[in-house]
Amino acid sequence: MFYGEYNHTIDQKGRVILPSGFRENLGDKFMVAKWLDDCLSVFPASEWDKIQEKIASQPSTALEIRKFSRMFFAGAGELQPDKQGRVVIPTNLRDYASLDKDIVVVGVSSRIEIWDKQKWLTYNESDDMNMSDMANKLSELGI
């Protein structure tokens, strides 16, 4: 499981150091892909396989499934940390998420999100983070 929020930087070669606790839970190889809200999502192999199976079980004739599949799988890449714990984020994914220098790495239970720092701050200040609305939705889910 992944929890917490960590400020990091991405270097000119597109390398970022993921928190050591995250790397331990990710294993030797893991996947990164475009995600919702203009961020990237990093998945351990086991979670990647679950998502892949769920998407594959959906009808490919459904427009939303085709659109999401293209966005999600076309830009995905496999990551493997070097000896210093750095991973190289592919250029197309850095461009998608506007990752330039300052980033935030966020644990979201079964996956990790990588955000441009300013986008993360803006997101947390937005109406999307209305706690009363969120509490109502959680109540509907029985949480």
| Alpha carbon 60 to its chain's center | 24
pLDDT band at 139 (very low <50, low <70, confident <90, very high): confident
In the chain the domains, ranked by start, together with CATH numbers, are: 2-116 (3.40.1550.20)
Residue type for position 61: T
Tens-place pLDDT, residues 22-53: 999 999 999 999 999 999 999 999 999 999 99
For the entire predicted model, the pTM comes to 0.89
At residue 129, does pLDDT exceed 80?
Answer: no
At residue 78, does pLDDT exceed 90?
Answer: yes
At residue 70, does pLDDT exceed 90?
Answer: yes
Helix ranges (H only) for the chain are 20-26, 45-56, 63-74, 91-97, 117-125, 131-140
Phi–psi pair at 33, nearest 5 degrees:
-150, 160
Residues in the chain: 143
The C-alpha atoms of residue 75 and residue 28 are separated, in whole angstroms, by 20
Report CA dihedral (77, 9, 68, 55) to the nearest 10 degrees: 60
The pLDDT value given to residue 110: 96
46 three-class SS:
helix
> What CA–CA distances, in Å, run from 83 to 77, 87, 105, 106?
19, 10, 20, 22
pLDDT band at 16 (very low <50, low <70, confident <90, very high): very high
Tens-place pLDDT, residues 89-105: 999 999 999 999 999 99
